[in-house]
């Protein structure tokens, strides 16, 4: 069908309207001046949601998925423009992944016992209004993914997003409410405040109508939530090591590790943050990193300069988080071609660029004398976060030993880290990995209460 002038005008108007939304938070669905007002609105919406059938909830979720696909590029661009972190191409992929692979109502199941003494069910019921705190590293991805799961469980949600990503977060929250209204649901299935602060977060955490808080972020926020006196789901920091032993396909390991490490400029908490390689294959691994995977080998002097910039005054420099390898090297006066995507070097595990969760494509390689030494060093580098770890090995005894020792929510074997999110690997997607509190990869069922429903001496029809 040929495109008429009026159709072009309609499209231009739609894009202009979306750009307007992008630059101005006022008048958006689900956005309130006061936190108490936002919670009240989410409470009213939840009263409607809890009366809806599962089928109706799923209709809203289908509409949310459609809108995420349609807006993936806008959300990706907004996220990068607003936070300065990550890259648009990978963020587009992340949004499509959320739309396609976040579980909906199919995750809400019933367990039943039927026998001589009747019928007993365990059903997954909603908590009500959930409070959620979201990071600036995956702002809209987390909000969209959390809402699909929480709504599938019959809840509504109040977000206190990272202030550095408020426009992107508001855009995502508006989309969620548009989807609900279009599918016949209520407004305010997801809400927030215009200016999220620690104070609004505190109001939310202490509010009598918020029974559950899901915190996705660094150690500070998870500790704050777990000290709130409410039930908390704590999705905290990681520092995932990628262990490579002598039985691995070393060439493929190099490719997988760099692909995982550089995805969205290393922003995902699950991404490879350092390598631990056994001595006998460490040189070969470095060879493949440098010859086939667009890595740049930083000299000792360049490592020192990077440390000064990236960890200025011993603190993580936010201006470096989620920047590309080329930009990071530019900050220390090193010019490299556009294809360079990762900075590598060899160093001890105590090196500040190795031991710190940097969230940028800088990959230190720690040499281990043998497999046991590699496990010990990798466990040390994970800092007891119990978050994510990766291994490249064909020895199942080694893999098993590592898995038991490191005890993380995620362990990827022989692939890039993002396969743990269902991207090039089996399984569903989430952007909230409850490492600290043990729920692991959250989904709709995580956001429900188990309720036992017992009928004695009847309804068993066997
Ligand atoms: P951050 O900890 O700076 O902020 C996360 C959120 O917590 C923000 O909304 C922030 O405003 C809020 N916050 C921070 N301190 C708080 C406090 N004391 N009380 C209340 N709220 C507080 O993290 P970030 O830079 O946005 O994200 C990166 C960090 O998050 C990394 O450590 C990364 O590993 C982690 N992360 C974890 C997961 C996971 O699923 N486990 C997912 C994404 C990011």
pLDDT tens digits for 229-255? 999 999 999 999 999 999 999 999 999
Distance (Å, rounded) from C-alpha 329 to C-alpha 266? Answer: 15
From the CB of residue 293, how many other CB atoms can be counted at a distance below 10 Å?
A: 19
Alpha carbon of 181 to ligand 1 centroid (Å): 30
pLDDT value for 27: 78
Are 39 and 114 found together in one domain?
yes
Alpha carbon of 217 to ligand 1 centroid (Å): 2
In this predicted structure, the answer to whether residue 16 has a pLDDT above a threshold of 60 is no
The SS3 call for residue 454 is strand
CA angle 259, 260, 263 (to 5 degrees): 80
In this predicted structure, the answer to whether residue 14 has a pLDDT above a threshold of 70 is no
Distance (Å, rounded) from C-alpha 214 to C-alpha 441? Answer: 12
pLDDT value for 23: 40
Whether 194 is in a domain gets the answer yes
DSSP line for 160-202: EE-GGGHHHHHHHHHHHHHHHHHTT--S-SEEEESS--HHHHH
> Total structural domains in the chain?
2
Whether 433 is in a domain gets the answer no
Are 211 and 262 found together in one domain?
no
Alpha carbon of 225 to ligand 1 centroid (Å): 11
The closest residue, in CA terms, to atom 23 on ligand 1 is 217
Are 197 and 259 found together in one domain?
no
Stretch 124-130: mean pLDDT: 98
Distance (Å, rounded) from C-alpha 436 to C-alpha 354? Answer: 22
Whether 17 is in a domain gets the answer yes
pLDDT value for 356: 98
Distance (Å, rounded) from C-alpha 271 to C-alpha 273? Answer: 6
Domain that holds residue 145: 5-236+441-452
pLDDT value for 73: 98
Are 265 and 223 found together in one domain?
no
Are 273 and 229 found together in one domain?
no
List, in order, residues 6 or more apart from 133 with CB less than 8 Å away.
159, 160, 161, 201, 213, 214, 215, 216, 217, 221, 225
The closest residue, in CA terms, to atom 22 on ligand 1 is 221
List, in order, residues 6 or more apart from 177 with CB less than 8 Å away.
29, 30, 187, 188, 189, 190
Distance (Å, rounded) from C-alpha 182 to C-alpha 108? Answer: 23
In this predicted structure, the answer to whether residue 323 has a pLDDT above a threshold of 80 is yes
Determine what percent of the chain is predicted with pLDDT higher than 90. Answer: 94
Do residues 243 and 402 make contact, with C-beta atoms less than 8 angstroms apart?
yes
The closest residue, in CA terms, to atom 30 on ligand 1 is 217
Distance (Å, rounded) from C-alpha 303 to C-alpha 317? Answer: 15
In this predicted structure, the answer to whether residue 88 has a pLDDT above a threshold of 80 is yes
Whether 458 is in a domain gets the answer no
What ligand 1 atom has the least distance to the C-alpha of 201? 20
Whether 457 is in a domain gets the answer no
The closest residue, in CA terms, to atom 15 on ligand 1 is 221
- CATH number reported for the structural domain that contains residue 195 in this entry: 3.40.605.10
- Mean per-residue pLDDT of the chain: 95
pLDDT tens digits for 363-406? 999 999 999 999 999 999 999 999 999 999 999 999 999 999 99
Stretch 309-315: mean pLDDT: 96
What ligand 1 atom has the least distance to the C-alpha of 161? 9
Are 135 and 267 found together in one domain?
no
In this predicted structure, the answer to whether residue 34 has a pLDDT above a threshold of 60 is yes
Are 71 and 105 found together in one domain?
yes
In this predicted structure, the answer to whether residue 317 has a pLDDT above a threshold of 60 is yes
pLDDT value for 2: 55
Task: Give the chain's radius of gyration (CA, Å).
Answer: 23
Distance (Å, rounded) from C-alpha 55 to C-alpha 15? Answer: 32
Determine what percent of the chain is predicted with pLDDT higher than 70. Answer: 94
pLDDT value for 451: 97
Whether 41 is in a domain gets the answer yes
Distance (Å, rounded) from C-alpha 420 to C-alpha 424? Answer: 8
Whether 199 is in a domain gets the answer yes
Are 232 and 334 found together in one domain?
no
Alpha carbon of 395 to ligand 1 centroid (Å): 36
What ligand 1 atom has the least distance to the C-alpha of 430? 40
Single out the residue of 388, 383, 389 nearest to residue 441, CA to CA.
388
Alpha carbon of 162 to ligand 1 centroid (Å): 8
The closest residue, in CA terms, to atom 2 on ligand 1 is 218
pLDDT value for 4: 63
Stretch 75-82: mean pLDDT: 98
pLDDT value for 374: 98
The closest residue, in CA terms, to atom 14 on ligand 1 is 221
The SS3 call for residue 158 is strand
pLDDT band at 22 (very low <50, low <70, confident <90, very high): very low
Are 201 and 289 found together in one domain?
no
Stretch 250-276: mean pLDDT: 98
pLDDT value for 5: 63
Give the 3-state DSSP-derived string for 403-440, with helices as H, strands as E and coil as C: HHHHCCCEEEECCCHHHHHCCCCCCCCCCCEECCCCCE
pLDDT value for 3: 61
Lining ligand 1 with CB less than 6 A are: 133-138, 161-162, 198, 201, 216-218, 220-221, 224, 235-238, 269, 357, 431-433, 435
Stretch 52-76: mean pLDDT: 98
Stretch 69-89: mean pLDDT: 98
Are 173 and 304 found together in one domain?
no
List, in order, residues 6 or more apart from 245 with CB less than 8 Å away.
278, 281, 371, 374, 391, 392, 393, 395, 398
Stretch 220-229: mean pLDDT: 96
Are 249 and 194 found together in one domain?
no
Distance (Å, rounded) from C-alpha 213 to C-alpha 158? Answer: 9
Instruction: Fill in the DSSP letter of residue 332.
Output: T
pLDDT band at 28 (very low <50, low <70, confident <90, very high): very high
What ligand 1 atom has the least distance to the C-alpha of 321? 25
Stretch 275-296: mean pLDDT: 98
- CATH number reported for the structural domain that contains residue 261 in this entry: 3.40.309.10
Are 85 and 182 found together in one domain?
yes
What ligand 1 atom has the least distance to the C-alpha of 162? 9
Whether 435 is in a domain gets the answer no
Distance (Å, rounded) from C-alpha 367 to C-alpha 279? Answer: 6
The closest residue, in CA terms, to atom 41 on ligand 1 is 235
Stretch 279-300: mean pLDDT: 98
């Amino acid at each position: 069908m040929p495109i008429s002038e009026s159709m072009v005008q309609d499209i231009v108007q739609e894009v202009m309207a979306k750009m307007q939304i992008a630059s101005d938070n006022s008048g958006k669905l689900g956005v309130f001046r006061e936190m108490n007002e936002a919670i009240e609105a989410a409470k009213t919406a939840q009263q409607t949601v809890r009366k809806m059938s599962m089928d109706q909830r799923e209709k809203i979720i289908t509409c949310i998925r459609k809108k995420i696909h349609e807006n993936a590029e806008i959300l990706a661009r907004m996220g990068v423009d607003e936070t300065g972190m990550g890259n648009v191409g990978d963020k587009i992929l992340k949004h499509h992944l959320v739309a396609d692979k976040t579980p909906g109502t199919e995750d809400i199941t019933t367990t039943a016992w039927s026998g001589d003494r009747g019928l007993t069910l365990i059903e997954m019921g909603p908590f009500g209004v959930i409070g959620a705190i979201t990071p600036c590293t995956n702002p809209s991805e987390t909000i969209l993914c959390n809402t699909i799961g929480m709504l599938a469980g019959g809840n509504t949600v109040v977000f206190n997003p990272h202030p550095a990503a408020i426009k992107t977060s508001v855009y995502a929250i508006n989309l969620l409410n548009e989807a609900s209204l279009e599918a016949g649901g209520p407004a305010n299935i997801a809400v927030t405040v215009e200016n999220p602060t620690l104070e609004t977060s505190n109001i939310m955490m202490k509010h009598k109508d918020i029974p559950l808080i899901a915190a996705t972020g660094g150690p500070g926020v998870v500790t704050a939530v777990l000290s709130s006196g409410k039930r908390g789901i704590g999705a905290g920091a990681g520092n995932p090591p990628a262990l490579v032993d002598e039985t691995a396909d070393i060439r493929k390991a190099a490719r997988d590790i760099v692909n995982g490490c550089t995805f969205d400029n290393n922003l995902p908490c699950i991404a490879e943050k350092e390598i631990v390689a056994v001595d006998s294959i460490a040189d070969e691994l470095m060879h493949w990193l440098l010859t086939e995977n667009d890595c740049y080998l930083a000299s000792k002097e360049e490592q020192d300069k990077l440390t000064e910039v990236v960890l200025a005054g011993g603190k993580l420099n936010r201006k470096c988080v989620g920047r590309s390898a080329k930009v990071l090297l530019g900050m220390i006066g090193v010019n490299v071609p556009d294809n360079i995507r990762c900075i590598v070097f060899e160093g001890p595990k105590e090196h500040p660029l190795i031991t710190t969760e940097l969230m940028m494509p800088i990959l230190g390689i720690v040499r281990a004398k043998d497999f046991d030494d590699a496990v010990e060093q990798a466990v040390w580098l994970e800092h007891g976060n119990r978050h994510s770890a990766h291994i490249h090995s064909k020895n199942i005894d080694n893999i098993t030993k590592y898995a038991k020792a490191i005890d993380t929510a995620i362990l990827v074997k022989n692939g890039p880290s993002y396969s743990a999110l269902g991207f090039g690997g089996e399984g569903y997607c989430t952007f909230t990995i409850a490492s600290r509190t043990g729920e692991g990869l959250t989904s709709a069922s995580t956001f429900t209460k188990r309720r036992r429903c017992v009928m004695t001496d009847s309804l068993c029809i066997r």
